[in-house]
A and B are shown apart, each in its own frame.
Chain A
C-alpha cells in the first residue's frame, strides 16, 4: 500500500493524529530549546557535516584503520556484505559460544537485517532491552521511530500489553508502575543472557573502539553481564578521531530528544579478560548508495530522528505508514536506494518544505534528495496513468503560449459555469474537503491587455 493510503487510514482517528503530532512536536520544541543553549550550533552542524564528508571520501582507509586498531585491542572484526551475511555471522558466533539467550540494546541495523526473526527461527531467544523496543517487540510490531520506537502507543495501550505479556495489574497507564514492572522483567532477562548484542553510534578509526549512546544503560548492563558482546555497525558509522566525539555527542542527544547528552555514552574499546568482543561491519547497500553522487550525503546520518520529529507529514501519518525500517524523511531518501519499486511512494510523501534539512545536525539536504528521487522514480517505476498523462500534457501546454491561453480560458469557463455538484464530485480530489477559488471573467493577462489599450 502506498504511503498516501496508509496515511489516510491513520487519519481516520483524528484525535490520535492530534495526540501523535503533539507528542512529537513537544520533542521538536525541546530540541529547539537545547540547541539554542549551544553557542555556535550552526558551526557545529557545518563541522559535523564536513567530518562525515571526509569519512565518506576516505571510507576504505578509515575502515581498514579501524579494523587494525580494533584487532590490536583484542576485538574480533567481521565483514558482512549484506543482511544475510550479517545474520549468519552473528548466528555463528552465538553457536560457537553455545548461546541460547541474547539481550539486545537498540540497533536499527539489526532491524534492517531482520536479525531477530532469523535468530528466533534458529531457536535463540532475543530480548530487546530498550523499553520502547521491548514494548513493540511484545506487540509484534516494528518500531515506528528510530529513537522513540513506541511513540505511536499511548500509555493505556502499553498498560494493556503488559497485562497480557508481563502479568501486570491494570493501572490506568501509570508510567511509574509500568516502567518498574518492565525493569523487573528485563532484569531477569539480563541476568540469564549468554550474549549481548548492541548497535554502534560511533566507531573511532584512531582507537578501534566504539561508542554506544543510551538513556537506559541497557547496553552497558547487557555487555557487563554476558560473556560475549557482539556490536553491529553499518560502514558509515566511522569517525576519524576520538576528539570528533566532541562534535557529534553534542549534536546527537540535543537533536534527538533535547537532552544535552544521553544518560550513558558508553565507550567499548576492548573485551574484558576472559570475555569475547566482536564487531560486525555491514555494507548492505551502503556502498551502492555511496556511489550515487546525489544521494551520497544521506550516509552522513547519525540516526537522531530529528527529521521525523519535525516532519509535518510524519507527525500526522505515523512511522508505520512508511513501511520501511527507517521511516520519515531520512528513510524516504535511504529506502528507495534499497528497493526502488517497493518504496517508490515515499519521496512523494513530502511537501518539500525543507524543515528536515534545516533541523538535520549533519546537514543532509534531505528535501533536495527527495526531489531527485522523484525524477528517478517517474522514469523507472510505473506511475498512475492519470498522473502521468496529465503532467506530460501539462509539459506540452506550458511550453506553448497560445495553447495555454486557450486552455486557461476554457477551464475557467467550466469552473464558473458547471454546477457545484459536478465541480466538487468524487473525481475532484481537491474538492473533497476544500472549495475551489471563485472564478472571475478575466484572467490577469486579459485585464492587463484591456488596461493597456
Chain B
C-alpha cells in the first residue's frame, strides 16, 4: 500500500508542524508514505468563492501529483471534501475518478482503512473537539446534531484511546466556527463573532486544548485566542495523536 501525503497549501506554508506530525504519525503506524513535492492546492478557495472554473489548472495538477498512489491522506477534512465533491469540473478520466475515490482525511484513514483506534498516544490534558463542518457534514466523520442517526464520531473514537486525555462535552456540539474560507474576510463581522462564541463554549466547558481535523478552522480560532490572550491552546488532531507526553 503506497500512500501519498497531501499537505494543504496553507498547512505547508503556515503550519509545517501539522504536516510533520501527520507524516510521523503515519510512519509510526507502519504506513509507507511519500510526499510528492511540487503539490499546491485542491482549488477549494477558488471554488467556494465562486471561481471554480479558474481552479481547473490546480485541480488537474493535483490529479497529476497523486494519481499513482493507492491512497491519498490529508490532515484537512475540507480539502478532502472538495476533491470528492467538486472535482466533477474535470473530465472524469480513470485517474480523476481514482483520486476522488482514494482520498481520505487523516483520522478517517486511520479508522476506516487501517482499522485502528489506539495509536499509542498520550496527552494528559482536557480537550474539546471542534467538529469542522466539511468533515462532519461533508465526509460524515461523525453523526451531526441535526440528523436523528445513532451517535458516532471518528475523532472521538481515536481520541478516547489517548492515554490521560479528558474529552470535554460542549454546550453546542457541532456549531460552525465561522471560518468559511474567504467568508472570514468578506463577512468579517459575523465570522469573528462566530469564532468568539465557539471559543467561549470551550472555555465554559473547562477545555484546555481545542483540537479538530481542520487546521483552517483552528487557525481562525487561534488568531482570536491569541489576540484576546485567552487561556486556551489549539492543536491539530495529528499533533495530539502523535504526542507521547
The answer, among B46, B86, B180, B222, for a CB contact under 8 Å with A437, is B222
In this assembly, does B91 line the interface, its C-beta being within 8 Å of a C-beta of chain A? Answer: no
Which of B113-121, B155-163, B223-231 is the contact stretch? B223-231
Q: What is the CB-to-nearest-CB distance from B230 to chain A, in angstroms, rounded to a whole number? A: 12
| Chain A residues with CB below 8 A from B7, complex form | 444-445
The interface residues of chain B lying within 8 Å CB-to-CB of A152 are none
In Å, the complex CA distance between A39 and B79 comes to 35
Docked-complex contact A437 and B223, CB < 8 angstroms: yes
Say which size band chain B's interface belongs to: 35 or more
Report the separation of the CA atoms of residues A435 and B12 in the bound assembly, to the nearest whole angstrom: 19
- Determine whether the beta carbon of B133 is less than 8 Å from that of A353: yes
- Indicate which residue in A11, A25, A399 contacts B60 across the interface (CB closer than 8 Å): A399
B48 and A11 contact, CB distance less than 8 A: no
Interface of A is mostly: helix
- Whether A317 sits at the interface, judged by CB under 8 Å, is yes
Are the C-beta atoms of B37 and A449 separated by less than 8 Å?
yes
Contact indicator A32/B145 (Cβ below 8 Å)? yes
Do residues A351 and B133 form an inter-chain contact, with CB atoms below 8 A? yes
**Measured between C-beta atoms, what is the minimum distance from B55 to chain A in Å?**
6
Residues of A within 8 A of B137 (CB): 353-355, 357-358
Q: How far is the CA of A358 from the CA of B174 in the complex (A)?
A: 12
Instruction: For the complex formed, measure the closest distance between the CB of A136 and the CB atoms of chain B, giving whole angstroms.
Output: 23
Residue in A313, A352, A354, A429 with the greatest tally of chain B CB atoms within 10 Å = A352
Q: Does B50 contact A (CB under 8 A)?
A: yes
| CB-based contact A355/B146 at 8 Å | yes
Q: Mark B2-45, 1 if CB is under 8 A from A, else 0.
A: 00000101011111110110010000000000010111110101
The answer to whether B183 has its CB under 8 Å from any CB of chain A is yes
Segment among B102-110, B188-196, B237-245 that sits at the interface with chain A: B188-196
CB contacts under 8 Å to B, within A298-323, are 310, 312-313, 316-317
Determine if B223 and A434 form an interchain contact, defined as CB atoms under 8 angstroms apart.
yes
- Point out the residue from B54, B182, B189 that lies within 8 Å of A11, measured CB to CB: B189
Question: Can you list 13 residue pairs at the A/B interface with Cβ under 8 Å?
Answer: A11-B193, A312-B178, A348-B50, A349-B190, A352-B48, A358-B144, A374-B49, A374-B50, A391-B182, A394-B45, A434-B195, A435-B222, A449-B37
* Additional A-B contact list (20), CB under 8 Å, known A35-B148, A433-B224, A434-B227: A11-B190, A41-B148, A312-B194, A348-B183, A351-B191, A352-B180, A358-B147, A371-B47, A374-B49, A375-B52, A378-B50, A387-B49, A391-B51, A401-B38, A401-B61, A430-B185, A433-B192, A433-B223, A434-B226, A443-B12
Q: Which residues of B contact A (CB under 8 A)?
A: 7, 9, 11-17, 19-20, 23, 35, 37-41, 43, 45-58, 60-61, 86, 133-134, 137-138, 144-149, 172, 175-176, 178-195, 197, 219-220, 222-224, 226-227
